[in-house]
Amino acid sequence: MQTVIRYATEEDLPALLDIYNYAVIHLPATFDLEPQTLEQRVVWFRQFGERYPLLAAECDGTVVGYCGLTSFRAKPAYDRTAELSVYIDERYHGKGIATRLLQAIIDEARQRQFHVIVACITGGNEASVKLHEKFGFEFAGTFKKVGYKFDAWQDVWFYQLTFGSGA
Protein backbone atom coordinates (compact mmCIF):
# COMPACT_ATOMS: atom_id res chain seq x y z
CA MET A 1 0.00 0.00 0.00
CA GLN A 2 1.57 3.27 -1.13
CA THR A 3 0.52 6.33 0.87
CA VAL A 4 0.98 9.87 -0.40
CA ILE A 5 0.51 12.90 1.85
CA ARG A 6 -0.45 16.01 -0.13
CA TYR A 7 -2.46 19.19 0.08
CA ALA A 8 -6.19 18.50 -0.11
CA THR A 9 -8.13 19.84 -3.08
CA GLU A 10 -11.80 20.58 -3.66
CA GLU A 11 -11.97 17.36 -5.68
CA ASP A 12 -11.25 15.50 -2.43
CA LEU A 13 -14.33 16.91 -0.71
CA PRO A 14 -16.66 13.93 -1.30
CA ALA A 15 -14.12 11.56 0.29
CA LEU A 16 -13.37 14.00 3.14
CA LEU A 17 -17.12 14.34 3.73
CA ASP A 18 -17.57 10.55 3.94
CA ILE A 19 -14.70 10.22 6.42
CA TYR A 20 -16.04 13.06 8.57
CA ASN A 21 -19.65 11.91 8.47
CA TYR A 22 -18.62 8.43 9.63
CA ALA A 23 -17.12 10.12 12.71
CA VAL A 24 -20.26 12.23 13.21
CA ILE A 25 -22.47 9.14 13.20
CA HIS A 26 -20.26 6.61 14.99
CA LEU A 27 -17.64 8.38 17.12
CA PRO A 28 -17.53 11.00 19.86
CA ALA A 29 -14.47 12.52 18.14
CA THR A 30 -16.58 15.38 16.78
CA PHE A 31 -19.41 17.11 18.55
CA ASP A 32 -21.42 17.55 15.38
CA LEU A 33 -24.62 15.57 15.83
CA GLU A 34 -25.92 15.51 12.26
CA PRO A 35 -24.01 14.50 9.11
CA GLN A 36 -22.69 17.43 7.10
CA THR A 37 -23.70 18.20 3.53
CA LEU A 38 -21.27 18.72 0.69
CA GLU A 39 -22.25 22.41 0.67
CA GLN A 40 -21.34 22.72 4.36
CA ARG A 41 -17.98 21.06 3.69
CA VAL A 42 -17.26 23.48 0.85
CA VAL A 43 -17.64 26.37 3.32
CA TRP A 44 -15.43 24.49 5.82
CA PHE A 45 -12.81 23.85 3.10
CA ARG A 46 -12.50 27.54 2.29
CA GLN A 47 -10.87 28.31 5.66
CA PHE A 48 -7.73 26.48 4.55
CA GLY A 49 -5.00 28.00 2.42
CA GLU A 50 -1.75 29.84 2.84
CA ARG A 51 -1.99 30.22 6.63
CA TYR A 52 -3.90 27.07 7.57
CA PRO A 53 -3.03 23.90 5.65
CA LEU A 54 -5.28 20.92 4.98
CA LEU A 55 -3.49 17.70 4.07
CA ALA A 56 -4.95 14.53 2.58
CA ALA A 57 -3.61 10.99 2.79
CA GLU A 58 -4.08 9.03 -0.40
CA CYS A 59 -3.55 5.26 -0.60
CA ASP A 60 -3.44 3.73 -4.05
CA GLY A 61 -5.45 6.63 -5.47
CA THR A 62 -8.08 6.76 -2.70
CA VAL A 63 -8.29 9.52 -0.07
CA VAL A 64 -8.24 7.72 3.29
CA GLY A 65 -7.64 10.50 5.78
CA TYR A 66 -6.98 14.16 6.35
CA CYS A 67 -5.40 16.50 8.84
CA GLY A 68 -5.69 20.26 9.12
CA LEU A 69 -4.81 23.29 11.14
CA THR A 70 -7.43 25.93 11.86
CA SER A 71 -7.60 29.12 13.86
CA PHE A 72 -7.59 28.39 17.60
CA ARG A 73 -9.47 31.57 18.54
CA ALA A 74 -10.41 34.73 16.65
CA LYS A 75 -8.46 37.23 18.78
CA PRO A 76 -5.19 38.45 17.18
CA ALA A 77 -3.02 37.39 20.13
CA TYR A 78 -3.79 33.77 19.17
CA ASP A 79 -2.43 34.16 15.62
CA ARG A 80 0.53 31.86 16.28
CA THR A 81 -1.60 29.13 17.84
CA ALA A 82 -3.50 26.64 15.69
CA GLU A 83 -5.98 23.87 16.41
CA LEU A 84 -5.30 20.45 14.93
CA SER A 85 -7.84 17.95 13.59
CA VAL A 86 -7.15 14.53 12.12
CA TYR A 87 -9.63 11.99 10.73
CA ILE A 88 -8.91 8.60 9.16
CA ASP A 89 -11.24 6.33 7.19
CA GLU A 90 -12.24 3.58 9.63
CA ARG A 91 -11.01 0.89 7.20
CA TYR A 92 -7.48 2.34 7.43
CA HIS A 93 -7.12 2.67 11.21
CA GLY A 94 -3.93 1.14 12.57
CA LYS A 95 -1.97 1.45 9.33
CA GLY A 96 0.22 4.40 10.33
CA ILE A 97 -1.68 6.96 8.24
CA ALA A 98 -2.48 9.24 11.18
CA THR A 99 1.19 9.17 12.17
CA ARG A 100 2.26 10.25 8.69
CA LEU A 101 -0.37 12.99 8.58
CA LEU A 102 0.60 14.32 12.00
CA GLN A 103 4.28 14.43 11.09
CA ALA A 104 3.46 16.31 7.90
CA ILE A 105 1.14 18.82 9.61
CA ILE A 106 3.71 19.49 12.34
CA ASP A 107 6.28 20.21 9.62
CA GLU A 108 3.77 22.58 7.99
CA ALA A 109 3.13 24.31 11.33
CA ARG A 110 6.83 24.90 11.84
CA GLN A 111 7.20 26.33 8.33
CA ARG A 112 4.30 28.69 8.99
CA GLN A 113 5.92 29.74 12.28
CA PHE A 114 3.17 28.64 14.61
CA HIS A 115 4.25 28.60 18.23
CA VAL A 116 1.63 26.18 19.62
CA ILE A 117 -0.62 23.48 18.18
CA VAL A 118 -3.64 22.55 20.30
CA ALA A 119 -5.41 19.20 20.00
CA CYS A 120 -8.87 18.81 21.53
CA ILE A 121 -9.46 15.10 22.20
CA THR A 122 -12.74 13.67 23.45
CA GLY A 123 -12.22 12.04 26.83
CA GLY A 124 -11.52 8.32 26.62
CA ASN A 125 -9.90 8.39 23.16
CA GLU A 126 -6.67 6.73 24.28
CA ALA A 127 -5.54 5.98 20.71
CA SER A 128 -5.59 9.69 19.89
CA VAL A 129 -3.78 10.53 23.14
CA LYS A 130 -1.02 8.02 22.34
CA LEU A 131 -0.69 9.37 18.81
CA HIS A 132 -0.32 12.95 19.99
CA GLU A 133 2.02 12.07 22.85
CA LYS A 134 4.28 10.28 20.36
CA PHE A 135 4.90 13.69 18.79
CA GLY A 136 5.51 15.48 22.08
CA PHE A 137 2.05 16.86 22.78
CA GLU A 138 1.53 17.41 26.50
CA PHE A 139 -1.67 17.31 28.51
CA ALA A 140 -2.85 20.86 29.22
CA GLY A 141 -6.22 20.38 30.90
CA THR A 142 -9.78 19.07 30.79
CA PHE A 143 -13.09 20.70 30.07
CA LYS A 144 -15.52 18.41 31.91
CA LYS A 145 -18.89 17.41 30.49
CA VAL A 146 -18.94 20.13 27.83
CA GLY A 147 -20.51 18.08 25.01
CA TYR A 148 -23.55 15.80 25.03
CA LYS A 149 -23.38 12.99 22.49
CA PHE A 150 -24.49 9.36 22.42
CA ASP A 151 -26.67 9.92 25.52
CA ALA A 152 -23.69 10.87 27.66
CA TRP A 153 -21.77 13.94 28.72
CA GLN A 154 -18.35 14.07 27.07
CA ASP A 155 -15.15 15.58 28.44
CA VAL A 156 -12.58 17.27 26.19
CA TRP A 157 -8.90 16.79 26.92
CA PHE A 158 -6.60 19.54 25.69
CA TYR A 159 -3.11 18.66 24.52
CA GLN A 160 -0.57 21.09 23.15
CA LEU A 161 2.70 21.00 21.29
CA THR A 162 4.91 24.07 21.81
CA PHE A 163 7.72 24.84 19.39
CA GLY A 164 10.82 26.22 21.10
CA SER A 165 10.77 28.43 24.15
CA GLY A 166 11.12 31.89 22.59
CA ALA A 167 8.59 34.35 21.23
Report the C-alpha gap between 28 and 154 in whole angstroms: 8
Of the candidates 74, 76, 11, the residue with the CA atom closest to the CA atom of residue 45: 11
Q: How confident is the model at residue 106 (pLDDT cuts 50, 70, 90)?
A: very high
Task: Report, as an integer, the average pLDDT of 42-47.
Answer: 97
Q: How confident is the model at residue 166 (pLDDT cuts 50, 70, 90)?
A: low
Is the confidence at residue 165, as pLDDT, over 90?
no
pLDDT at 164: 77
CATH class as words, domain 3-162: alpha beta
Report the C-alpha gap between 72 and 43 in whole angstroms: 18
Q: Are 106 and 161 in contact (CB under 8 A)?
A: yes
pTM of the model: 0.94
